[in-house]
Structure 1
Amino acid sequence: MNVWALNKTEDIKKLLIMLTSQLGKEAFELSERWQDDLSAVGLCKRGDPSLIAYIYTHGQETDRYGIHLLYPDLPDVDTRGIIDAKENVKFEQLVDLIIMHLEIVPS
């Protein structure tokens, strides 16, 4: 992934570089759902685009992030509209949430 080629704000590009450095190049995939949102990015579990962490900087304090954890549809369970949302999260907390939600084993 060439972060600098993405149409994102510097904060989001910096975040993606830090996440890739900490979690590894193969830890996640980018969702195409928010490719036109300059101040946000969607991270997917590798091989499962329905498990998403939506991360944004709009309306957050400096060096803080908002995150929405989105869940896939499950058989016999209505997961539509279930979102775990957090505001003004520090980078270290953000990494922990992403690892847990996307089931990443850090490299």
Structure 2
Amino acid sequence: MTRLAGDPGLWRRARYALGFRLPAENRDWVRHDLTDAGWRVRLLARHLLIMIPVCAALMLLPGEWWLRVMVALLALLTSTFTVAISSDDLRRSRLRRHGLPIPNRRPGA
């Protein structure tokens, strides 16, 4: 797979996943990430990469094993649902943060 122009390195991708703004040299990559087909899947994948370690940490809390599993599962499911239903708003915010135009909505959507 070829790299896109302005493809950030691993460190910048990690910061981007946490919500930080990338430098102007990564603008083309950000535009691709937030406007090309599959942007919702990439948004959810980034969210899961952040939440899985958080849920693993929740599993280390004291208590019955089933309770720890349920707490971690509740955190994962509710946060993923929240990201899924607010994905359009999250994308608009990120595009604005990077100084990129916000795509028009589809007719009838």
Specify which structure has the bigger relative contact order, considering alpha-carbon pairs within 8 angstroms and separated by 6 or more residues.
Answer: 2
Per the TM superposition, whether the score is higher than 0.5 is no
What TM-score, normalized to structure 2?
0.30
- TM-score relative to the length of structure 1: 0.30
- Bigger fraction of residues in strand: 1
Which protein is bigger by CA-based radius of gyration?
A: 2
